[in-house]
C-alpha cells in the first residue's frame, strides 16, 4: 500500500474516491466539504438535508462525482456527534471507509485532515489515526485461500491532502508512525491466527530471530536444558505433555541511555491450549490457537519499538509452549517449583497461562526493571466480566496502571482497572504448596491476577488480561474477525508517553 501526504485541495485530487468525514446532524458544510459540494452542484448538501445521510458514526454514502471533479466518487462517512468525537472515532471511520472503497472495487482513496480545520485535532495525530484506520481496516489473512487469491481486490493508495505546509509536515510524521504501528499490529494478527500446526513454539522463536535480524533487536532463545538450569519448573510442567519443545524468547531493544533500567514486557505464548489433562470441551477449541496473542503482541511491539527507534530500553519476554494432554502430561495435584522458588500446586492443568507467566515474571526480575507489563489471554472469566470491549487491567502500582489506562484512551485499545485486594489471596491458598493455580469460580480473572502478583513482588507490575480483546467473533470498524493484534499500539503509546514524561 502506498501512502502519500500532499499539499493541495481535496477537490482536485485524482484518487478513485475522495473521503469526507461528516459530523452527525450538521447540515452546514464548511471548508473542503463546502468546496466539494459547490463543485458537485449541491449534491452533498442535498443528501444531507434530505436526511439520506445523517452522519451517524460509521454511516457511509458513496456518491458519484459525474466527472465534476477528478475523483470518481465522494464517500461520506459519519463521525457521530461533534461533542463525542475522539481520535478513535476517526480511526474507525477510516477503517470503515477503506473497506467500503475496496468492496466496491476502487483502488485509491484520498482525504483531508478532518477536525484539523476546526482545531479539534492535531494534524499529526489525525493523520496517524487515519492511516492506522486504513491499514488496520484493510487487513485480511489471505495466505490459506488458494483459489480466491487472484480475484482479490486491493486498495493500492491512500493520500492525505493537507491545506498548508505546516500541516503537511505534521501529517507526514503522523502517517509514518501510523504505518509502523499498524503494520506491527497486522504482523501480530497474522502470527496470532496462525494455526498451531505451523505456529509451534519453535516457529515463534524463529520468527523472533528473523525480527531481530531485520529490525536490529538482540535475541536469545532458551531451550529445555537452559530452562532446567534456571529451574523454570512451572513452564516445564506445562510443556511436558507436548511433543513440541518449549521455547523461552528474549528480545531486547537497546534504546535510550545504557544505564537506564529497562521496561520489561511479558507475553503468554501458549501456541495451543487444549486444557491438558483438565481437557477443554471441543466446541470452539480451535480458537485456542489464539492463546499465544500475548506473546505475539510482545513480538509486534518490539518490532514497532525498533522501527520507531524509541529512546528507551525495552525487553520482551515470551514463554512459549503447547498445553497438551498425554502420557507425559502433568496431572492435577502435581506440585512444581517455579524459578522464584515458590511451589505451586497444579489443581487444574487448564490454568496453564499463570504457570508459564510465573517463571517469566521471575526471570524479569534479573533486569532490575523500571516496571513489568504482562499481556495474557488468561481467563474466560475476564471475557464474562468485560466482554470484547476492554482489556482487564490489574497491578501493584496505581500510577503505572493509570498510564496504561490513558494510553488505552488514545489508541482505542481501552483497558479498565480491576481490584486486587489481599483478601483474594485466600482463594489461592494451597493445603500442600505455597500457592495453588486456581481460586474457584468467584472472581476468576482477579484470582488469576492475584496468583501472578506473588511472582511480581520485586518491581512495579501491571497485568493485562486480553482474553476478550485479542479475538473477535465478528469484524468491527477496523478490527477483523479473529485476531485483533491488541496490545501493540497500546504499549507503544505507553512507551512513547513514558519517554516524553521522563524527559521533563
CB under 5 to 8 A by kind: which of Zn ion, ligand BES, Mn ion, none does 467 bind?
ligand BES
Report if residue 291 touches ligand BES, rule: CB under 6 A: yes
Distance in Å, CB of 338 to ligand BES, minimum: 17
CA distances from 498 to 153, 173, 179, 501 (A): 40, 19, 21, 5
The residue annotated as part of the active site, out of 96, 179, 189, 354, is: 354
Distance in Å, CB of 47 to ligand BES, minimum: 43
Of positions 55, 233, 276, 353, contacts Zn ion by CB under 5 A: 353
Of positions 37, 172, 322, 350, contacts Mn ion by CB under 5 A: 350
φ, ψ for residue 14, nearest 5 deg: -85, 40
Report if residue 274 touches ligand BES, rule: CB under 6 A: no
206 is catalytic: no
CA distances from 449 to 263, 341, 355, 367 (A): 20, 19, 12, 22
Report if residue 273 touches Mn ion, rule: CB under 5 A: yes
Of positions 273, 322, 345, 359, contacts ligand BES by CB under 6 A: 273
252 forms beta bridges with 218, 315
Of positions 246, 255, 294, 353, contacts ligand BES by CB under 6 A: 353
Q: Which residue has the cell 545504557?
A: 258
Q: Which stretch binds Zn ion (CB under 5 A): 114-122, 223-231, 262-270, 276-284?
A: 262-270
Three-state SS letters, 338-404: CCCCCEEECCCCCCCHHHHHHHHHHHHHHHCCCEEEEEECCCHHHHHHHCCCCEEEEECCHHHHHHH
Report if residue 192 touches ligand BES, rule: CB under 6 A: no
| Per-residue binder mask for ligand BES (CB under 6 A), 94-133, x = binder | ----------------------------------------
**Cell output for 382:** 475476564
Distance in Å, CB of 270 to ligand BES, minimum: 6
CA distances from 2 to 153, 154, 171, 322 (A): 15, 12, 15, 38
Complex with ligand BES: residue 346 or 456, whichever CB lies closer: 346
Q: What angle do CA 497, 500, 501 make, to 5 degrees?
A: 85
Report if residue 273 touches Zn ion, rule: CB under 5 A: yes
CA distances from 392 to 98, 211, 442, 493 (A): 30, 29, 16, 18
The residue annotated as part of the active site, out of 9, 280, 405, 476, is: 280
Interface size with ligand BES, residues (CB under 6 A): 16
CB under 5 to 8 A by kind: which of Zn ion, ligand BES, Mn ion, none does 374 bind?
none
Beta strands in 112-262 (DSSP E): 157-162, 218-222, 247-254
280 is catalytic: yes
CB under 5 to 8 A by kind: which of Zn ion, Mn ion, ligand BES, none does 90 bind?
none
Q: Which residue has the cell 479539534?
A: 120
3 state DSSP class of 480: coil
Q: Which residue has the cell 534456571?
A: 230
Active site residue ranges? 280, 354
Amino acid at each position: 500500500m502506498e501512502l502519500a501526504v500532499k499539499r493541495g485541495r481535496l477537490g482536485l485530487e485524482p484518487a478513485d474516491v475522495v473521503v469526507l468525514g461528516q459530523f452527525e446532524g450538521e447540515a452546514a458544510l464548511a471548508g473542503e466539504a463546502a468546496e466539494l459540494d459547490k463543485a458537485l452542484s449541491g449534491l452533498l448538501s442535498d443528501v444531507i438535508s434530505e436526511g439520506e445521510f445523517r452522519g451517524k458514526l460509521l454511516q457511509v454514502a458513496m456518491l458519484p462525482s459525474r466527472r465534476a471533479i477528478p475523483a470518481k466518487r465522494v464517500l461520506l462517512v459519519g463521525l457521530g456527534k461533534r461533542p463525542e468525537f475522539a481520535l478513535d472515532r476517526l480511526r474507525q471511520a477510516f477503517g470503515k471507509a477503506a473497506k467500503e472503497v475496496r468492496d466496491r472495487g476502487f483502488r485509491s482513496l484520498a482525504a483531508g485532515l478532518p477536525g484539523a480545520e476546526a482545531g479539534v485535532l492535531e494534524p499529526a495525530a489525525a493523520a496517524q489515526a487515519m492511516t492506522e484506520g486504513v491499514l488496520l481496516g484493510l487487513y485480511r489473512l489471505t495466505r490459506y485461500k488458494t483459489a480466491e487469491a487472484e480475484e482479490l481486490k486491493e486498495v493500492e493508495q491512500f493520500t492525505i491532502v493537507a491545506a498548508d505546509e505546516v500541516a503537511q509536515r505534521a501529517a507526514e510524521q503522523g502517517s509514518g508512525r501510523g504505518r509502523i504501528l499498524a503494520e506491527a499490529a497486522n504482523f501480530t494478527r497474522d502470527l496470532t491466527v496462525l494455526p498451531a500446526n505451523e505456529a509451534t513454539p519453535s516457529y515463534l522463536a524463529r520468527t523472533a530471530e528473523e525480527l531481530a535480524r531485520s529490525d536490529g533487536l538482540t535475541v536469545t532463545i532458551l531451550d529445555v536444558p537452559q530452562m532446567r538450569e534456571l529451574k523454570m519448573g512451572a513452564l516445564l510442567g506445562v510443556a511436558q505433555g507436548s511433543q513440541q519443545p518449549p521455547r523461552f524468547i528474549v528480545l531486547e531493544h537497546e534504546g535510550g541511555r545504557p544505564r537506564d533500567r529497562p521496561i520489561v514486557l511479558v507475553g503468554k505464548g501458549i501456541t495451543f491450549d487444549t486444557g491438558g489433562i483438565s481437557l477443554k470441551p471441543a466446541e470452539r477449541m480451535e480458537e485456542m490457537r489464539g492463546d499465544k496473542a500475548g506473546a505475539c503482541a510482545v513480538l509486534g511491539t518490539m518490532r514497532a519499538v525498533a522501527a520507531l527507534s524509541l529512546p528507551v530500553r525495552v525487553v520482551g519476554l515470551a514463554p512459549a509452549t503447547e498445553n497438551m494432554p498425554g502420557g507425559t502430561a502433568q496431572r492435577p495435584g502435581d506440585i512444581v517449583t517455579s524459578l522464584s522458588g515458590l511451589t505451586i500446586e497444579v489443581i487444574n492443568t487448564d490454568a496453564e497461562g499463570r504457570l508459564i507467566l510465573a517463571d517469566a515474571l521471575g526471570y524479569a526480575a534479573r533486569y532490575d526493571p523500571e516496571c513489568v507489563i504482562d499481556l495474557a489471554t488468561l481467563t474466560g472469566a475476564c471475557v464474562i466480566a468485560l466482554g470484547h470491549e476492554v482489556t482487564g487491567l490489574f497491578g501493584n502500582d496505581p500510577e503505572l496502571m493509570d498510564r496504561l489506562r490513558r494510553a488505552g484512551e488514545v489508541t482505542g485499545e481501552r483497558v479498565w482497572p480491576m481490584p486486587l485486594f489481599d483478601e483474594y489471596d485466600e482463594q489461592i491458598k494451597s493445603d500442600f504448596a505455597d500457592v495453588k493455580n486456581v481460586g474457584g469460580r468467584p472472581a476468576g480473572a482477579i484470582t488469576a491476577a492475584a496468583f501472578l502478583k506473588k511472582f511480581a513482588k520485586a518491581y512495579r507490575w501491571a497485568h493485562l488480561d486480553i482474553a476478550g480483546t485479542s479475538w473477535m467473533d465478528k469484524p468491527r470498524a477496523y478490527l477483523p474477525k479473529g485476531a485483533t493484534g491488541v496490545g501493540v499500539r497500546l504499549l507503544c503509546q505507553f512507551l512513547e508517553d513514558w519517554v516524553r514524561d521522563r524527559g521533563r
